[in-house]
Structure 1
């Protein structure tokens, strides 16, 4: 059976002149995990407080990119080398040009805003028929000119009554002139303040006839907006000619900044740096050769097996776990690590998960047409025609469940809920083995007496599949415990050999009695009793073989009580683990019934209505039922498969890899 990848610890001693190249090599290689968890390479958590000039360049380039409206970098920075002196010169040149353009653009934007505001202010006086300089010297009137929320004007007029006159200025009713007698100016100010009035400065150059001023300001607005458009074109042209350079520099400085942060946190003297970390053992020779060539021999490398590492021997450190698979199996790895990491050196469950997930999904979601939708989605995701972020890496899963659902659909005769289109295929296949009939396997309940037998047959098949899945989980656990030399845990307990034999024997015993009419013998009850005893009361025996003392930890009374509770747990656990897989058959039946309902509704809705029902119905089934079935399959694997051997978790291998940006 496949096991987790064998790992080695390597120690690197390199000169300070080579450390940047070594760190860059490790990050680009993506197969080296630092041994100590204390390493935190984020920008604000470096061990030494030293300015990271590459990160400063990166931050400024990001600001320049945003100003130039250039799309952010979407490529993998691993393909880019860290920034060099030539890159820094190019970045400085671009940043100087962008800063100059940005300053001019911001100044012109402010100028456009200022001129527009002046124009709007002047427009507020369009209703005045005499120059304001004459009005403000009136001896019998007190005038107030300013802004007020437009919805408050009517209320203001009602409040001041006949004591003041309110004159709208402009077309938007948000600027007004209020006039009252000199005696009533204080009462007017009070009311104006209550309704949100704000005094407005009269433009300094507002002299003479208002129309003259308005025309002059209008021309200034046109000229300033034209200059701003010219700068906008200049910005767009600059962006077009420098996009590739800026993207390259963003990637280069992103790598450079991370190299600096890592280097700044390493254990070192003034001349030598020390790095220790885990790598896959099969890559050790390549690492040594390439690092030796990179540093021209100025590096010392030592390799240690996990059994030679003191912290691992003492149980203070776990060897990181790396799983190695092809593209299809690797797409299921996140399903494993979302539950927990296997222990180092144990059996890798990913291939089993890939097979079980694909088969169980296909059984529960049997429709050839809907399965082809998943298959097509997977193909388009793999080709990156459909981009859904991190979900694209799961394209092989979509293709796998698409194939399994389509095969199940061919067997049950469903094609987008239609049960007649695949009849010729079913007749041809069944004709090869006897009398032709369609579908090959009729899942839909009917008045036919045989349909009940088929339904119970489906439930029996899914329980049998559950037996296989449970058994494989138990075997994995036993092998893992033996590998770890935990003989007690391997032999005793409900998921040890005793519990496994009890489970298997009871299943075989039930099948013999049910189908072969065997009469239970004394030997049957003896075997069941002994295996059940060691499964339920196995803790003292586990502790004895595992070398744990005392053997009976909390006294005989506690041991008996715990054993009785465990006895109930063993029986209920194996019973529920088996019955739980009935849901697979139930979902297969539910899927068939739902497809039948959609098809019947379509037939009774006319041509156009029927087409809409088929499209919407199948879309709902693919999205909603597809999600529900996926959740149920994951649940079955988590609770009925993983729970058999995931009683301890390891540490996932997370190698040093460069990423883009400041994350």
Structure 2
């Protein structure tokens, strides 16, 4: 069985002149985890110690000002920042800042020109002298701005006490008029509506046409000037895009190196680096670092059993698992639950197999399975990029294949039960009398159908027995590997619990299927194994040499044993029966397919096609999610619970990650 990757702790003593090149090597290697955790510091003092972070931040501002999309990662090998790179970055930053200032000035000029033109246009239709209108003894006039949405409400509230006249094309400019007697009511309503009065010259008669033309020409020239500067910005972005992206990558790495360097133990001339690395890389790393520093670096290697913090239990050795392309897709399912302990069995291959098989059994349809397979292939080819779902491409491929195989057995293709009939007849004909489908799932009034259904439920329980047994075996091996002999021999998930579980299952099968009568030795084996399991704490302390054996007294031990008996029986029973849901979901999927197929046959022509598409889409999305959740639940609660009694520390190596801010 595969185990977690063997790790080593290495200690590096690096001269100040080599620290950047060594950290760059480790970051690009992506297989070195620092022994101490580094906390990111965004304080001003930290930024002063990280000049590359300041340059990177300014380059990001330049990229945003040029309306260029950000990078999603590094493109090939990236060197460390040099003096020439700093000069290039400074030149680009200064040029873009100059263009940005000119653009802001041009934007303000355009706004002023547009505002002046609109103000003038608002009074273009006022051809009577304002002073003449205001001198009327019976008339009160107010000219100004108001929210256009409030004009109708203002008119309604004024009623016959005044009138509102819109000025020009801008709805926010109005002329309000009322009698002198109603001027106080007019001013009150205008104030309530948020009216802002404009100061108009006494002899004002409107805006002459030549003035309007001049203002319009100024507006057009300001817009043209702004467009010219924006064109300059776009041209600059196009010609300097590649160089800007190159500098962003360089200073992203440089800023991360500075960040780590500031957190290391150091003297005036030497830095000390300690961290974990896979054992199979030790010789290569030592050779590369020796060449990189021209033999100026000191390197020491330690076994985990030689590290004081590990021996004392203050530190856990980080856990790394290595797999091929298919199994590696299921790694996150392990680490989302918890990391295995270092030196124990890697459960990822088991999870990959069990998840694929269980999903296929519960979601058996060849057509719908092909949909998952196609989605998985597109994700693997990076053709689908939706919120990170592309990283599950391998899982989609696996469940697509298993669902397709199960669909071929049950004869379902997009809920249709006739399209695969020739295939079923051909396959079954090779082994005897042809019949379709190969595996009957839909129940009927035929007694044989009920028998087949219960046989299928028995099959799913058998799968559960296998999965539970694998969990028990993994735990027993792990406990022996960790030299916890007492836990390996006794307890619900130790040898005594496993013997109880296995023998009860064998005993039940013998009695139910083979009509064997219970014998005395059956009860002896069951009783002894249950007793050893129930009193596991006592026997564990006895085997491991811990004293006193009865830590909390005899009465407490008896109560604990009784509770443990109830726990062992109920948990093993629920762990086994829980896999009935696999058969239940498989049956439910077949029923849903039958319902969809029935509606398709009832709907004529295009209606039937629409029903088929909609029904299958709902099944693929909703039932696919439900089945996936159930499979994950079975893995977590039935399989992982057997050996995941304690979690380890996930291996998270130092590597460069392009990001917008540091």
TM-score (norm 1): 0.95
Alignment of 1:502-651 (within 5 A): 502-651=500-649
**Aligned residue number for residue 118 of structure 1:** 116
Mapped partners of 1:161, 1:565: distance in 2: 86
Deviations 1:581-633 (Å, cap 9, x if unpaired)?
00001111111110111011101101101111111111111111111111100
**Aligned residue number for residue 228 of structure 1:** 226
Deviation at 1:319, TM superposition (A): 0.2
Deviations 1:76-108 (Å, cap 9, x if unpaired)?
367322322222111111111111111111111
Is 1:334–2:332 an aligned residue pair? Answer: yes
**Aligned residue number for residue 6 of structure 1:** 6
- Over 3 Å counting, the alpha-carbon distance change for 1:448 and 1:203 in structure 2 is farther
Mapped partners of 1:327, 1:204: distance in 2: 84
- 1:177 alignment partner, SS class: strand
Mapped partners of 1:289, 1:207: distance in 2: 91
Q: Is the 8 A contact 2:144 2:196 kept in 1?
A: yes
**Aligned residue number for residue 18 of structure 1:** 18
What runs of 5+ residues in structure 1 fail to find an aligned partner? none
**Aligned residue number for residue 496 of structure 1:** 494
Mapped partners of 1:183, 1:600: distance in 2: 81
Alignment of 1:292-331 (within 5 A): 292-331=290-329
Alignment of 1:132-147 (within 5 A): 143-147=141-145
Q: Is the 8 A contact 1:481 1:487 kept in 2?
A: yes
- 2:326 alignment partner, SS class: helix
Deviation at 1:144, TM superposition (A): 3.1
Mapped partners of 2:179, 2:616: distance in 1: 78
Aligned equivalent of 1:193, options 177, 191, 203: 191
Is 1:28–2:23 an aligned residue pair? Answer: no
**Aligned residue number for residue 421 of structure 2:** 423
- 1:332 alignment partner, SS class: helix
Q: Is the 8 A contact 1:371 1:405 kept in 2?
A: yes
Deviates further, 272-281 or 516-525: 516-525
Deviation at 1:345, TM superposition (A): 0.2
Is 1:461–2:459 an aligned residue pair? Answer: yes
Mapped partners of 1:440, 1:523: distance in 2: 42
Mapped partners of 2:199, 2:96: distance in 1: 36
- 1:18 alignment partner, SS class: helix
**Aligned residue number for residue 478 of structure 1:** 476
Alignment of 1:332-371 (within 5 A): 332-371=330-369
- Over 3 Å counting, the alpha-carbon distance change for 1:71 and 1:133 in structure 2 is farther
Q: Is the 8 A contact 1:12 1:274 kept in 2?
A: yes
Mapped partners of 2:74, 2:462: distance in 1: 46
Mapped partners of 1:213, 1:255: distance in 2: 59
Q: Is the 8 A contact 1:479 1:490 kept in 2?
A: yes
**Aligned residue number for residue 449 of structure 2:** 451
Q: Is the 8 A contact 1:28 1:78 kept in 2?
A: no
- Over 3 Å counting, the alpha-carbon distance change for 1:33 and 1:436 in structure 2 is same
Deviates further, 16-25 or 75-84: 75-84
> Number of residues paired by the alignment?
661
Deviation at 1:36, TM superposition (A): 1.3
- Over 3 Å counting, the alpha-carbon distance change for 1:99 and 1:456 in structure 2 is same
Mapped partners of 1:26, 1:134: distance in 2: 85
- Over 3 Å counting, the alpha-carbon distance change for 1:92 and 1:139 in structure 2 is farther
What runs of 5+ residues in structure 2 fail to find an aligned partner? none
Deviations 1:246-266 (Å, cap 9, x if unpaired)?
211111111111111111111
Deviation at 1:185, TM superposition (A): 5.7
Mapped partners of 2:161, 2:59: distance in 1: 62
- 2:48 alignment partner, SS class: coil
Deviation at 1:127, TM superposition (A): 2.3
Deviation at 1:162, TM superposition (A): 6.6
Deviations 1:369-410 (Å, cap 9, x if unpaired)?
111111111111111111234322221111111111111111
Mapped partners of 1:176, 1:337: distance in 2: 68
**Aligned residue number for residue 56 of structure 2:** 58
Q: Is the 8 A contact 1:26 1:32 kept in 2?
A: yes
Deviation at 1:303, TM superposition (A): 0.4
- 2:653 alignment partner, SS class: coil
Cα root mean square deviation, aligned: 2.3
- 1:146 alignment partner, SS class: strand
Alignment of 1:57-136 (within 5 A): 57-76=55-74, 79-130=77-128
**Aligned residue number for residue 283 of structure 1:** 281
**Aligned residue number for residue 414 of structure 1:** 412
Q: Is the 8 A contact 2:126 2:205 kept in 1?
A: no
Deviates further, 285-294 or 180-189: 180-189
Q: Is the 8 A contact 2:476 2:495 kept in 1?
A: yes
Deviations 1:510-559 (Å, cap 9, x if unpaired)?
11111222111111101100000111121111122233333222211111
- 1:331 alignment partner, SS class: helix
Deviations 1:154-174 (Å, cap 9, x if unpaired)?
454565567665432123442
Q: Is the 8 A contact 2:475 2:494 kept in 1?
A: yes
**Aligned residue number for residue 173 of structure 2:** 175
Mapped partners of 1:134, 1:65: distance in 2: 58
Mapped partners of 1:445, 1:501: distance in 2: 37
- 1:128 alignment partner, SS class: coil
- Over 3 Å counting, the alpha-carbon distance change for 1:205 and 1:610 in structure 2 is farther
Mapped partners of 1:194, 1:461: distance in 2: 79
Q: Is the 8 A contact 1:169 1:175 kept in 2?
A: yes
- Over 3 Å counting, the alpha-carbon distance change for 1:604 and 1:159 in structure 2 is closer
Q: Is the 8 A contact 1:122 1:203 kept in 2?
A: no
**Aligned residue number for residue 394 of structure 2:** 396
Deviations 1:179-214 (Å, cap 9, x if unpaired)?
567887665443321221113356999887443322
Deviations 1:10-59 (Å, cap 9, x if unpaired)?
0010000111111111111111111013x22x241699563422111211
Deviation at 1:219, TM superposition (A): 1.4
**Aligned residue number for residue 374 of structure 1:** 372
- Over 3 Å counting, the alpha-carbon distance change for 1:372 and 1:183 in structure 2 is closer
- 1:274 alignment partner, SS class: strand
Q: Is the 8 A contact 1:48 1:265 kept in 2?
A: no
Q: Is the 8 A contact 1:206 1:213 kept in 2?
A: no
- 2:73 alignment partner, SS class: coil
Alignment of 1:144-155 (within 5 A): 144-155=142-153
Deviation at 1:656, TM superposition (A): 0.6
**Aligned residue number for residue 272 of structure 1:** 270
Deviation at 1:426, TM superposition (A): 1.0
